[in-house]
Amino acid sequence: MSIKKKITDTYKKKIALIKKHNKYYYNDDKPQISDADYDKLKNEVLDLEKKNVYLKDLNIFSETLGAPPTNQFKKINHLKPMLSLSNAFDENGMIDFLKKIKNYLNIKEFDLDLISEPKIDGISATLIYENGLLKKGLSRGDGYIGEDILENLKTIKEIPKDISRQNVPKLLEIRCEIFIGKKDFYILKDKFANPRNAAGGSLRQKNPKDTSKIPLKYFAYGFGVIQPMIFEKQSEFLKRLNSWGFLTNPLSKNVKGIDEIEKQHKSLDSIRSSLDYDIDGLVFKVDDLKLQQRLGNTSNSPRWAIAYKFSAEKAITKINNIIIQVGRTGAITPVAKVDPVTVGGVVVSNATLHNEDEIKRKDIRIGDTVLIQRAGDVIPQVVSVNISKRDKKARKYIFPSKCLCGAETKKELSKNTKKRDAVRRCTKGYDCEFTAKEKLKHIVSKEAFNIDGLGKKVVDQFWNLKIIKEPSDIFKLNYNKINELEGWGDLSINNLKKAIKDAKKIPLNRFIYSIGIRHIGQENAKILAAFFLSVKEFSKLSDLKNREKILKNLNELDGIGETQVESINNFFFNKKNVIITNNLIKQLDITDYSLKSSKGKFSNKKIMFTGGFENMSRSEAKSIAENNGGKVLGSVSKKLDLLVVGDSKPTKKKINQARDLKIQIISEKEWNKILNS
């Protein structure tokens, strides 16, 4: 046996042992070795990796803390999705947030009343009360489906179990953040990586008695469904929660205008270290609940709220090398390999350099001493170079003209700006193994198929072992082969089987987003799904004759422009894309897209807007039309049923086209009458 083989076998055995003890500790709650012995074993593995770089390429030491999730908790749909928040990182980000709200609501000179709340770095959960009695308690999960952790939540004494005497709504869904105080965590620090992990691990204990031993705390901050709705403002809701016995954050405060926003943000940033809980920013919400309702949500986040993060954590390090990575759209991204440095509690060894233009602009060289930052959860990035510390040996990086697969790359010409894209791209699609692998990672991601247990490192492992080569392979895995791999036992395989089985049923809009057509994000995917309605109709894009006709119709859709249409055409022009997409469709149960409302004042009507409105934005008008069963088009054609003309600068050409086609034209006043009728 060769020395390399002996080292590899020793490495694998130690990892198998670590995973075995992870199961004892996290799933069985019966540790078999001391924490010191566990840490020693873990350090031995890390030391082997350090001395034998080839071991890292095996991709089998992906996680050393925790164990694969069990199916011990029942999955339950949230009454209303728990969406993520969009982020702002500076004053300009907050100004942009306010501007977008004013544009959407079509209000000009008006300072919005906002309420600010500390953004606690904890675990989100929702409490559901029926006639004042706590009936359900769910984890956030993927935002749409959570786990039933009611009994564990009940161990938090401060959470009211019965508020039936408080004159509460029949149905009351309260959102809260669960956390562990810094002082309490100090006692547990040897068992968990950080307070957030401690809170999350405690809530997933199989036995609530074990959870009760952990000093969990909470703050209530929001709501999901309330029937009947008895509040007019977010601030009023928080005050009422207090009167019902719930704990809310005492540092919440009403603010108005960018000056007060900045003052509050700086104030809490200055005292954050003195608080007994971790906060990483402030959440600002529109206080008026009617305005919240008007603003609604995008596919990812509410338009009426934002997380204003504290300043990015920074650190100084040295660039040892620059490599390139290939993304799912073929984008070639340069990455700096740096001396490991701790930034915001995370050890960083890679930092993005964005693109070759950015490298030239900042004059970044291999061997440079640089300042890197990590803002929120985004990838660390190189901010600047310390020229005074530049070594004579530092060398310029020559950006490669070819992809890692060997294919030529190109910078595309933007039809909107008429300028070349800053990013180079490989155009081979699935024929590029690096692009193909990243496409797989996109498909299993949370926003697409959301397959728990099939993360990036597992995709890398299965790809290298040729278990998965294209998306359809995910749904016909050879579990016997997986069972032979290190770290894969009956429990983890059964969990993966269930996750993949659940993922087979997917709505049309998420399927369209998942296949990774460039320029087609979640919002565009919804617009396309509303147009096609079924996967049968969507599949007609595979046929050239059908596609030409369909693309002309897509040009009429509001929200789908020339860039998206060209991208769809390019995707389906590639024969391999068509074969892979059709293979995937055969493995799935893709549900038809259900329109927001098939019934309403504009049921089955195709509507178009031109000109500005006095009391609402075009975006809000479009949303209202869709919520009332209408479909909004972006150009005038025979299919159009109704052209709504705003008072401010309507397009005369569109009005004349509509008249020539004898399409009904109504004014803004008539539109408002229909809405109020």
The DSSP bridge pattern shows strands 409-410 and 425-426 to be antiparallel
Residue 519, Ramachandran bin (φ over 0: left; ψ between -120 and 50: alpha; else beta): left
What is residue 593's DSSP assignment? P
What is the spatial distance between Cα 487 and Cα 500, in angstroms, rounded to a whole number? 19
85 in Cβ contact with 283 (< 8 Å) = yes
CA count, 13 A, side-chain hemisphere, 455: 9
**C-alpha angle with apex 503: 500 to 509, nearest 5 degrees?**
155
What is the spatial distance between Cα 631 and Cα 605, in angstroms, rounded to a whole number? 6
Helix H or strand E encompassing 320: strand 313-326
Q: Nearest-CA neighbor of 279 among 123, 86, 118, 115?
A: 118
Question: Rounded to the nearest 10 degrees, how much is the dihedral formed by the CA atoms of 338, 340, 341, 346?
Answer: 110
Question: Rounded to the nearest 10 degrees, how much is the dihedral formed by the CA atoms of 430, 434, 438, 440?
Answer: 50
206 in Cβ contact with 28 (< 8 Å) = no
Q: Nearest-CA neighbor of 434 among 514, 574, 326?
A: 326
Q: Nearest-CA neighbor of 189 among 42, 197, 66?
A: 197
289: Cβ contacts below 8 Å, ≥ 6 apart? 229, 231, 232, 233, 234, 237
Handedness of CA 180, 184, 188, 190 (dihedral sign): positive
Q: Nearest-CA neighbor of 164 among 120, 129, 138?
A: 129
Helix H or strand E encompassing 221: strand 216-227
What is the spatial distance between Cα 500 and Cα 497, in angstroms, rounded to a whole number? 5
Query: Measured between alpha carbons, how far is residue 369 from residues 184, 352, 364, 373, 388 in Å?
Result: 39, 15, 9, 13, 9
What is the spatial distance between Cα 8 and Cα 486, in angstroms, rounded to a whole number? 12
Residues assigned a catalytic role: 119
335 in Cβ contact with 353 (< 8 Å) = yes
CB atoms within 10 A of CB 385: 18
Question: Rounded to the nearest 10 degrees, how much is the dihedral formed by the CA atoms of 570, 574, 576, 577?
Answer: 20
